[in-house]
Amino acid sequence: MSEFKIDSNEAVNILISVLVISLAFAIVFSGVSTLNLQLAYAFLLILVTVGLGFILHEMAHKYVAIKYGLQARYVMWTLGLLLAIIMAFLVGFVFAAPGATYIWGGNVTKEENGKISLAGPLTNLALAILFTPLVFIPALSEVGLVGVQVNLFLGAFNLIPIFPLDGSKVLDWDWRIWLVSILVLAIPLFIFFL
pLDDT digit string (tens) for the chain, length 194 residues: 578 999 999 999 999 999 999 999 899 888 776 677 888 999 999 999 989 999 999 999 999 999 999 999 999 999 999 999 999 988 888 877 899 999 999 899 999 999 999 999 999 999 999 999 999 999 999 999 999 998 998 999 999 999 989 999 999 999 999 999 999 999 988 887 76
Same domain for 17 and 58, yes or no, is: yes
Same domain for 117 and 44, yes or no, is: no
List Cβ neighbours of 161 (8 Å cut-off, separation of 6 or more). 167, 168, 170, 171, 178
The domain boundary residue, chosen from 108, 123, 146: 108
Would you say 52 and 124 are in contact if contact means Cβ atoms under 8 Å apart? no
Same domain for 48 and 124, yes or no, is: no
How far apart CA 194 and CA 185 sit, in angstroms, is 15
Same domain for 86 and 60, yes or no, is: yes
Would you say 46 and 29 are in contact if contact means Cβ atoms under 8 Å apart? yes
How far apart CA 159 and CA 11 sit, in angstroms, is 26
Q: Whole-prediction pTM value?
A: 0.91
Same domain for 150 and 90, yes or no, is: no
Query: Regarding beta strands 99-104 and 71-76, do their DSSP bridges make them parallel or antiparallel, or are they unpaired?
Result: antiparallel
Buried b (16+ CB within 10 A) or exposed e, 163-183: eebbbbbbbbbbeeebeebbe
Same domain for 68 and 127, yes or no, is: no
Same domain for 116 and 94, yes or no, is: no
Catalytic site positions: 58
Bin 123: left if φ > 0, else alpha if -120 < ψ < 50, else beta. alpha
Same domain for 51 and 97, yes or no, is: yes
Same domain for 80 and 175, yes or no, is: no
Q: Which amino acid is at 171?
A: L
pLDDT recorded at residue 33 = 64
Q: What is the pLDDT of residues 95-111, one digit of tens each?
A: 778 999 999 998 999 99
Same domain for 135 and 47, yes or no, is: no
Same domain for 25 and 103, yes or no, is: yes
DSSP 8-state secondary structure symbol assigned to residue 81: H
Q: What is the pLDDT of residues 68-90, one digit of tens each?
A: 999 999 999 999 999 999 999 88
Closest to 19 measured CA to CA, from 95, 86, 84, 102: 84
Q: How many domains is the chain built from?
A: 2
The domain boundary residue, chosen from 108, 130, 149: 108
Same domain for 174 and 193, yes or no, is: yes
Q: Which domain range does residue 169 map to? A: 109-194
